[in-house]
Structure formats: structure tokens, C-alpha cells
Amino acid sequence: MTQTADRLPTFFLNHGGGPWPWMDGPMRRAYDQLEGSLQAVIPSLGAMPKAILVVSAHWEEAVPHVSTNAAPPMLYDYYGFPEHTYRIRYPAPGSPELAGRVSQLLRAGGMDCCGDAKRGFDHGTFSMMQPIRPEADIPVVQLSVLTSFDAAEHIAMGRLLAPLREEGVLVLGSGLSYHNLRNFGVKGQAASHAFDRWLRHSLSGVDGDQRAIALERWMDGPAAMQAHPRPEHLLPLHVIAGAAGADPCSVQFHQDDFFGGLAVTSFRFG
């Protein structure tokens, strides 16, 4: 991919629950603040990205996998939602070119990578991308997290992908800074606020090396295991922070008291 003069920021974003952009009523209204923040992503860049790479919390593999389909299908990876939400489409094209570049960068850094031509957009991607770019005219490629759940490995993966930022590629991490479905809502309020405070403090006003050390030791943070019994929704943040390098982090991109007072934060780097 060709190089551009400007380096794009990276974002770790809350993708919300299920197919929320295609719903109505109280659940839909609970996402108003999130929707506004997602709608601001592209305008905040000052230029239209050539393509978007989404590190999805909803795709776990033993080695990094990247979606290669030029016309990705849909993956309705949720249950119990209205019938029409199993027919929705986010018709953005894929980009075999970007998928190949991702694979090239990872392999050059000693990390294996596999292409997946069948993988469709999961809701961690399409529910986030619908408010970000409803026109669906920017190519989107998905990248998996790793089943090892190794924090340092995810940071290293992000560092290898950093050149994409100077090639017109917007790198997004799709997850949630609190993800414990057994304690969602009021039951998770205390843990979510404790972990969110630690996360914001650990990422803001420190250099890239200090950030990486904190993220590698995220399990030592207050209420960390209550906030993330499984860390797949946090690990896209590690990839994004790795790709950010020494760029500063803004913790004000999106903060929300979510579903019964859960504290969740989205982050922009650079």
C-alpha cells in the first residue's frame, strides 16, 4: 500500500451490544452517547482513510487471522434479538490488498498470520462501523485476537502493524473496557468504576513504554478479573496501544455510565 504524509491515530472503541444500531426503543436510546462518539471518528481525522483494520474481540484464533474476502458476508454472532436483525447488512467491501499487507507486516516481525476468505463481519465490527461510516464505502478488514490471551503478544502485534498508520489505514480496536456479562448493570458498577479509573490513569500522561508495562500487568489492576473474567474484549486495546507507539492517549474520546452505571471508556491514541 502507498505511503501518505500523515499518520492516522488509533482508537479502542466500545462496539455496544448486539445489533443495536438497527433497533428501536429503550435499548437503542441507551447507546445515544456511544453513537455520537462513533459518528465523530471519521470527522476527527481530517482526511478519509483508504481502509480500516478492525481488531475484533469476537474473533479468537491461535495465531493472528485476517479476513481476505473482497465482499465479506455477515456473521450474526448473537442470539435473542428481533428477527429482522438476522437479515441486516453492512455492505462495505473487504480489501485483499490490506489483508496481504497485514500478513506481510506480521510475518516480517516473526509472527505467523493466516488469511481467512470465509470470515464475515461480526457484530463487533458491523455494529461499530454502522454509525462510524453508514455509507459503507470504506474497505474494512478484520483481524483476530489470540487465544493465548497473552498481553505482551498483543502489544507486539500492534507494534508490527504501526506502519499502516502512515499508509492511510485507520486501525480500530473493537471491544469494551468492562465485559462481565454475569455482572452487567448495577451488579458490576463498583468493579467497572475501579478498573476504569485504573485504566484511564495507566494510559494517560505516560510514555509508550510505561503504558505497555501497565497493560502487560493489567490483571494486577483493581477489580481486573471482575471486569474481565475473559480478556478478549480488552485485548484489542493492547493491539491499538502497541500500534500507537509513543503517541499520547486521550481518555476523553468517549466515557459513559453504561447500562445501570457501568463505567466504560473509549481511547484515542495520537
The dihedrals phi and psi of 59, each to the nearest 5 degrees, come to -135, 110
**Residue-level pLDDT at 4:** 43
Closest of 131, 3, 136, 124 to residue 60, by C-alpha: 124
| pLDDT tens-digit map of 132-183 | 999 999 999 999 999 999 999 999 999 999 999 999 999 999 999 998 877 7
170, β-bridge pairs: 52
Res 3: pLDDT: 40
CA distance 52 to 13: 13
CATH number of the domain located at residue range(s) 10-269 in this protein: 3.40.830.10
- pLDDT of 182: 77
Q: Find out whether 233 and 154 touch, Cβ atoms under 8 Å.
A: no
Q: What is the pLDDT of residue 250?
A: 83
Residue-range domain boundaries for the chain: 10-269
Q: 5, 106, 16, 118: which is closest to 53 by C-alpha?
A: 106
- Burial (0-12, 13-18, 19+ Cβ within 10 Å), 95: buried
Long-range contacts of 107-113 (CB under 8 A, 24+ apart): 108/160, 109/156, 109/159, 109/160, 111/63, 111/64, 111/156, 111/157, 111/160, 112/63, 112/64, 113/63, 113/64, 113/65, 113/66
Closest CA to 154 of 111, 195, 116, 117: 111
- What does the alpha-carbon distance between residue 246 and residue 106 come to, in Å, rounded to a whole number? 20
How distant, in Å, are the alpha carbons of 38, 75, 164, 230, 270 from that of 58?
19, 10, 22, 12, 25
In this predicted structure, what is the pLDDT of residue 13? 96
CA 244 to chain centre: 13
Distance CA 21, CA 36 (A): 12
Mean pLDDT by 10 residues, the chain (270 residues): 69 93 88 92 95 98 98 96 96 98 98 97 97 98 98 98 98 94 81 94 92 97 96 98 94 64 90
**pLDDT score recorded for residue 242:** 98
pLDDT of residue 5: 45
b/e sequence 215-241, b meaning 16+ C-beta within 10 Å: bbebeebebbebbbeebbbbbbbbbbb
Predicted pLDDT at 253: 55
For the entire predicted model, the pTM comes to 0.95
